[in-house]
Chains A and B, each alone.
Chain A
Amino acid sequence: MSARAPLSGLRRMVLAAPALWLFLFFLAPFALVLKIALSKPAIAQPPYEPTFSLIEGWQALWDKIGTLSFDTFALVIGDDLYLAAYLSSLRLAAIATLLTLLIAFPLSLAMARAPKHWRTALVMLAIAPFWTSFLIRIYAWIMLLKEEGLINKLLLSLGIISTPLSIFATEGAVLIGIVYSYLPFMILPLYNALERQDPSLLEAASDLGATPLTSFWTITVPLARSGIFAGLLLVFIPAVGEFVIPDLLGGSDTLMIGRTLWNEFFDNRDWPTASAVAIFLLVLLIAPLMNYERQQMKEAVR
């Protein structure tokens, strides 16, 4: 088809509708986030100043622009609490992402090696939990992990433990929550990469005397690299900014940056600080985000 031909009127509209929508409601708001991060908190409605308007004339507007400052950024950088929250988010998200990979890999491999007529059903089963409410899945783990929860009940009644384990309200619970919630995002790209592999490669390797373990490390894993990479990004990026999981499963001492942002915004009503935190979070995620986009585009071309 017309690879480089100018777009016709209808085509222009078809492109413009989603493009304008995403520009207006996704891209443009970030300019506002930046602006408010440069503002000062105020006891007003909305709770920051200055607010720009042309009613007072150009000169007043220009003066107000002059009052924007990097104070809030300096505050966020200077305060150890925010740094600790960033680092702890990165650490928890990284550990959880690796755990997800460790659980998803054998599962995806078993799915990819299952008889052909099973596979569609297995994939459906693996991604169906993604469709059930996120909150409900976290709620399920509260039920399981609480001091008087089902896991402790079971272990106590079997006599395996004599005092209840305290997993709930710890970082461990947050890790379990992330792994459980994001597992489908890891399974899908892994399965796609593993399913594409030609089984005759493994046969050839074993004919040449390779042990199953050798062929696993020299054939299966390297060929699944693109899937592994996609899965890592799909889990890691949203996990860093996660709010619901640390809030419901973590303890009061579980620091995660999404939770910090939420508290600044809703509890402290400090919009400039929340915005500055969001900007830092975005900067932190820009490299993995770019990588993810590149992958998606390569995938789309294929």
Chain B
Amino acid sequence: MKRGLSPLHLAVLAAGFAFLYVPIALVVIYSFNASRLVTVWGGFSTQWYVSLFANEQLLQAASISLRVALASAALSTVLGTCAAFALQRFGRFPARTLFTGLLYAPLVMPEVIIGLALLLLFVGLGIDRGFWTIVIGHTTLGLCFVAVVVQARLAGFDRSLEEAAQDLGASPARTFRAITLPLIAPAMAAGFLLAFTISLDDFVIASFTSGPGSTTLPMRIYSQVRLGLTPEINAISTLLIGIVGLSLLAATVINRLKAPSVR
């Protein structure tokens, strides 16, 4: 077959990635716009970042979002890893089909349905909505993503290492700590970051499950966007893109560093 890339393929790639990235790049560029009108370029300025850090409401929302994301990502990682083990290692347990269905359904289920159902549950149980109800909502979604990522790692896993450790007299607990955990740790880290960004990003489920005093960052951004475009939204967006970009980079590096030594 041909080596390298044909000009046609190169053109397709260039056009496709331009479509994906130009809008995001424009948001970043226009965050440094001196003009108050977002789409009118008025020279370079970082004033919107300054005003961002004076916006109490926004900072408060950002802090809630970060804490929700940390808590739900941690819970998701634990529960999702358990689910991945159950799927990959437990053979055919009762109700396996139902369990698998429950794990995959939230990945595509419209968020308005998940959000509404959760809210009605909390109201029905008489639970006050706030920080923890958002965490529960995000964990329900996040654990499914973690399960998919960790399960993929477990599927490509060389079990002879575990068997060797047990043959050499290691207890199951020791085998798990010394062999299994380090081998799946990169996938768990990637799953954690995935659950973290999904939580940080979610607007719909948070709107249903939040209560007074627990407005998250996407909820603030949404209400600002509805009021009209301001360069401040571009500035906060740029910061978020930066954070996500860095954690994505970190996830790749972690996965790369550990992966070759495994296989």
Contacts and interface: CB of A to CB of B under 8 A. Distances in A.
Instruction: Decide whether A and B assemble into one complex.
Output: yes
B121 interface: yes
A17 B79 contact: yes
* A interface majority secondary structure: helix
A33 interface: yes
Nearest to A259: B112
A138 B83 CA distance: 33
A153 interface: yes
Contacts of A36: 120
Nearest to B85: A14
Contact of B24 (A19, A137, A274, A278): A137
Given A26-B114, A128-B248, A241-B113, A18 B108 contact: no
B206 to A, nearest CB: 11
Nearest to B143: A18
B54 interface: no
Nearest to A30: B117
Interface in A1-41: 1-5, 7, 11, 14-15, 17-19, 21-23, 25-30, 32-33, 36
Given A26-B140, A143-B30, A300-B100, A107 B16 contact: yes
A103 interface: yes
Contacts of A134: 201, 203
Interface string B208-229: 0000000000100110011001
Interface string A283-302: 00100010011001100100
Contacts of A11: 86, 90
Contacts of B168: none
Contact of B13 (A33, A114, A138, A148): A114
A174 B113 CA distance: 20
Interface string B58-89: 00000000000000000000111011011101
A122 to B, nearest CB: 7
A150 B26 contact: yes
A73 interface: no
B120 A133 contact: no
A244 B100 contact: no
Interface residues of A, number: 93
Given A140-B26, A148-B39, A293 B248 contact: no
A140 B222 contact: no
A91 interface: no
B241 A258 contact: no
B140 A21 contact: yes
Contacts of A292: 104, 108
Contact of B116 (A2, A118, A144, A278): A278
A180 B23 CA distance: 10
10 contacts: A1-B89, A19-B95, A19-B102, A22-B106, A25-B140, A33-B120, A110-B5, A115-B3, A241-B109, A241-B111
User: What 3 A-B pairs come out closest when comparing CB atoms?
Assistant: A241-B110, A29-B117, A140-B23
